[in-house]
A = this chain, B = another copy of it.
Amino acid sequence: MIEATIGRIIERVNALSLPGPGYTRPSYSPLETEAHAVIAAEAERLAMAVTHDAAANLFARLPGRDRAAPPLYVGSHLDTVPMGGAYDGVAGAMALAAAFVESGETPPVDLIVTVTRAEESVWFPVSYIGSRAALGLLTAPELEARRIDTGETLAEHMRREGGDPDAVLKGPGLAAATFVEMHIEQGPVLHKAAEPFALVTGVRGGLRYRNARVDGVWAHSGGAPREERADAVFALADLVTALDRHWAAILAKGDDLAVTFGRIDAASSEHAFAKVPGNAAFCVDIRSGHDAVLDRMDSILKEEIAAIEARRGVIFTLGAQSRSKPAALSAGLNTRIAEGAARIGRSPRHMLSGGGHDAAAFASAGWDAAMLFLCNWNGSHNPHEAMREADLALAVRTLAATFGDRQAKQ
């Protein structure tokens, strides 16, 4: 039953994508809106009341026994990175609601299947847009951020997909409650350990320069003497290898860190094999479970840049920094979910999340927030990411056993 719901929803949502490879549903795109409509239709089959907030997030409510108590929000997002993968946790949230409806059990508090907008911050340089909007935390400058492909503002896209940016700013946000997210793990840890799911203790924060560049001096690749060159590609390679060394050193000390240069562009129509490259654009993404490590790496980045500039005669321009805070999830809620898992004979590991997730935004706003990671393989944020629907069904059963008395006894 749970498996059938999961399979159907994943199939319907993934029919909605820009041309492949992989799946591409940009944040606040018509495709994302259509994916939300799929969930709305599924919710209405279960007679759940569907509403949208001013940011066009979707909420589908199943009434609980105690209507006055803070509700249990269970959900995730449906946007993807460009050419991303096929899996997400929204299908699990709907399957959890369906399990309650089909068993005839009323959940202890209102269960709200939550589908956020715009979680993949590759499209707009803003983190956790939908969930922070729901929480009343999105700011006016953030609404002016432009989508990387269209160049139009977040406010324009939000309005076009049914939202009301002015109302988002007025708030108020949702009252603090409980939020649980099911999501594939981004790394291969669970797959290597052959474990179906895990409980997440916290979410790494990130520090990004998305529009950095280095400018050197164009010259002839055969004629310019070495000592006269200001080669943008050699300078950038120096920076990448320097940060690689620092990354290894910081990990060796036992700190948490990840460094990625996801995009390097020295490939304009002006670049050619016979020219010393005069510029290169790049982005750098630094993540850690600890804010102090992010600060330290930011200092290191700037020190290395100063040294390379002095040595090579180039000029780096980092541009705007975007940043998300590391977030601890709820230890108490994790304990409850671990007990629920034990009731169905499971003992999931506890682990840190490398990727950012909506749950981090709710946790930062003072909610009781938790996450279940699902085993995936072939990596994540790529067309080949893979997940067993049976693993998601196990996570759903764990939550049913955690939050429902009758479910627990099945």
Binding site for B on A (CB under 8 A): 81-83, 120-122, 185-189, 204, 206, 208, 210, 217-226, 228, 231, 233-234, 236-238, 240-241, 244, 247-248, 251, 258, 260-267, 269-278, 280-281, 283-285, 287, 353-356, 379-382, 384
Q: Which B residue sits closest to A220, measured CB to CB?
A: B186
Chain B residues with CB below 8 A from A81, complex form: 272, 274-275
Q: Would A267 and B269 count as touching, CB distance under 8 A?
A: no
Query: Considering residues A189, A267, A353, which has the most beta carbons from chain B within 10 angstroms of its beta carbon?
Result: A267
Q: A188-B228, A240-B234 are in contact. Are A219 and B379 (CB under 8 A)?
A: yes
Q: Shortest CB–CB separation between residue A165 and chain B, in angstroms?
A: 24
Extra inter-chain contacts (14) besides given A260-B276, A262-B274, A264-B277, CB under 8 Å: A81-B272, A218-B381, A219-B379, A220-B355, A222-B353, A223-B354, A224-B380, A234-B240, A262-B272, A262-B273, A262-B276, A264-B267, A265-B266, A276-B379
Q: Shortest CB–CB separation between residue A336 and chain B, in angstroms?
A: 25
Q: Would B267 and A263 count as touching, CB distance under 8 A?
A: yes
Q: Would B267 and A221 count as touching, CB distance under 8 A?
A: no
Number of identical monomers bound together in the oligomeric complex? 2
Q: Shortest CB–CB separation between residue A355 and chain B, in angstroms?
A: 4
Q: Would B226 and A248 count as touching, CB distance under 8 A?
A: yes
Q: Would B224 and A204 count as touching, CB distance under 8 A?
A: no
Q: Would B188 and A224 count as touching, CB distance under 8 A?
A: yes
Chain B residues with CB below 8 A from A225, complex form: 187-189, 354
Chain B residues with CB below 8 A from A208, complex form: 273
Chain B residues with CB below 8 A from A248, complex form: 226
Chain B residues with CB below 8 A from A121, complex form: 274
A258 contact from B226, B266, B356, Cβ within 8 A = B226
25 A-B pairs within 8 Å (CB atoms) are namely A81-B274, A82-B270, A83-B269, A121-B274, A122-B273, A185-B223, A186-B222, A187-B225, A189-B225, A218-B381, A218-B382, A219-B382, A221-B258, A222-B355, A223-B380, A233-B240, A233-B262, A234-B241, A260-B274, A262-B275, A263-B267, A263-B273, A273-B283, A274-B381, A275-B382
